[in-house]
């Protein structure tokens, strides 16, 4: 157990040396702080008609206005909030489900493993877009919470399979056998012995699920299957496409949300690569 945990204890020393991790973390934190605090400085609602129609960026309207006179900058910073919220809720739910299924299946094995693996495979091949179309058509649920719930319930299978494989390799280690012989119950063994030895892997899994949830939400918003009220970066792209911003030359309407989604998700994946290099001694750049 000591040998297994030693690399994790020394990993923090390599964090400041990893340029990918620092760069990705800086970008994510910058957008997160903008999402949290910049909307407090905006004195009007994001969808309020506040200025001249189709005005290009200026000192008064930093990102210009839409064809209806809405402030694109206000929509952008409020949209960042929705982006991080759906990423946190959807990615967090997927991580919880994936970890629970992966840990139990990998540790228990046998019939439990077969049943959970079958469930994972069913959800993995489930036509998520078709299910969402049916939900929207018959239930009419179109808010951020419902969108995050749907993303979380359909995004966990790959994480569960990966965590199951890691757990399967750890369950035969000496420290797990010792805990089992001491009478420790399964939940405690998973929580105290197995999960801590996978903490770096679990954190990187959450980052990937977080970024994936943001991409899925933006895609659903763009094709018109996301929330119809409020504002998000994907919905901004949907409105820009619907009202022909590209044909009208209104680049300031669709470039900021597209660049924002790309920057946040790209920074998360770069950050994940950096974390992999930090926690994996074979990948560290000395």
DSSP string for residues in 211-258: HHHHHHHHHHHHTT-S-SSS--HHHHHHHHHHTTTTTTT-HHHHHHHH
pLDDT at 179: 86
At 4, is the pLDDT very low, low, confident or very high (cuts 50, 70, 90)?
very low
At 6, is the pLDDT very low, low, confident or very high (cuts 50, 70, 90)?
very low
Place of tokens 């919905």: 235
pLDDT at 130: 76
Answer yes or no: is pLDDT of 16 > 90. no
CA 6 to chain centre: 29
Q: Would you state the structure tokens that stand for residue 122, as one six-digit string?
A: 């069913």
* CB neighbourhood size of 266 (10 A): 14
Answer yes or no: is pLDDT of 7 > 80. no
Q: What share of the chain is helix, strand, coil (3-state, %, to 5)?
A: 75, 0, 25
pLDDT at 103: 94
pLDDT in tens, 37-94: 999 998 889 989 988 899 999 988 999 999 999 999 999 999 999 999 999 999 999 9
pLDDT at 98: 95
Output 104-113 pairs: Cβ under 8 A, ≥24 positions apart. 104/190, 105/160, 105/164, 105/167, 106/163, 106/164, 106/165, 106/166, 106/167, 106/168, 106/170, 106/171, 107/167, 107/168, 107/171, 107/186, 107/189, 107/190, 107/194, 108/186, 109/168, 109/171, 113/164
Rounded Cα distance between 38 and 202, Å, is 31
pLDDT in tens, 92-105: 999 999 999 999 99
Tell me what the mean pLDDT of segment 195-208 comes to.
89
pLDDT at 138: 67
pLDDT in tens, 108-166: 888 999 999 999 998 888 777 777 777 766 666 577 888 888 889 989 999 999 999 99
Angle at which helix 110-124 crosses helix 72-108, to 10 degrees, equals 150
Q: How far is CA 108 from CA 102, 168, 186, in A?
A: 10, 9, 9
Question: What letter does residue 282 receive in the DSSP assignment?
Answer: G
Which sequence spans correspond to the domains of the chain?
25-36+71-281
pLDDT at 186: 86
pLDDT at 261: 95
The pTM of this model reads: 0.88
20 vs 77, residue with greater confidence: 77
Q: How far is CA 50 from CA 46, 69, 71, 249, 280, in A?
A: 9, 6, 7, 21, 52
Q: Would you state the structure tokens that stand for residue 76, as one six-digit string?
A: 């952008």
Please provide the CATH number assigned to the domain covering 25-36+71-281.
Answer: 1.10.3720.10
Q: Residue 69: left if φ>0, alpha if ψ -120 to 50, beta else—which one? A: left
């Amino acid at each position: 157990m000591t040998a297994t945990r030693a690399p994790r204890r020394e990993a923090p020393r390599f964090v400041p040396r990893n340029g990918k991790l620092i760069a990705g973390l800086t970008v994510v934190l910058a957008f997160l702080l903008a999402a949290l605090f910049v909307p407090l400085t905006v004195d009007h609602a994001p969808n309020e008609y506040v200025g001249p129609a189709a005005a290009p960026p200026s000192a008064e309207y930093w990102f210009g206005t839409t064809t209806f006179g809405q402030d694109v900058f206000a929509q952008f910073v409020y949209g960042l909030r929705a982006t991080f919220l759906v990423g946190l809720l959807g990615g967090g739910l997927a991580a919880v489900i994936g970890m629970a299924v992966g840990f139990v299946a990998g540790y228990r094995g046998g019939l439990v493993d077969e049943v959970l693996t079958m469930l994972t495979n069913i959800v993995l091949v489930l036509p998520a877009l078709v299910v969402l179309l049916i939900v929207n058509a018959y239930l009419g649920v179109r808010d951020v919470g419902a969108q995050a719930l749907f993303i979380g319930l359909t995004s966990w299978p790959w994480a569960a399979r990966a965590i199951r494989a890691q757990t399967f390799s750890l369950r035969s280690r000496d420290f797990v056998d010792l805990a089992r012989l001491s009478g420790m119950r399964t939940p405690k063994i998973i929580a105290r012995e197995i999960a801590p030895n996978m903490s770096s892997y679990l954190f990187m899994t959450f980052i990937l699920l977080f970024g994936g949830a943001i991409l899925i939400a933006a895609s659903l918003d763009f094709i018109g299957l996301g929330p119809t009220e409020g504002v998000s970066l994907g919905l901004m792209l949907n409105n820009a496409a619907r009202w022909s911003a590209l044909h009208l030359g209104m680049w300031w309407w669709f470039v900021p949300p597209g660049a924002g989604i790309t920057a946040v998700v790209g920074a998360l994946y770069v950050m994940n690569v950096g974390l992999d290099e930090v926690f994996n001694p074979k990948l560290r750049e000395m």
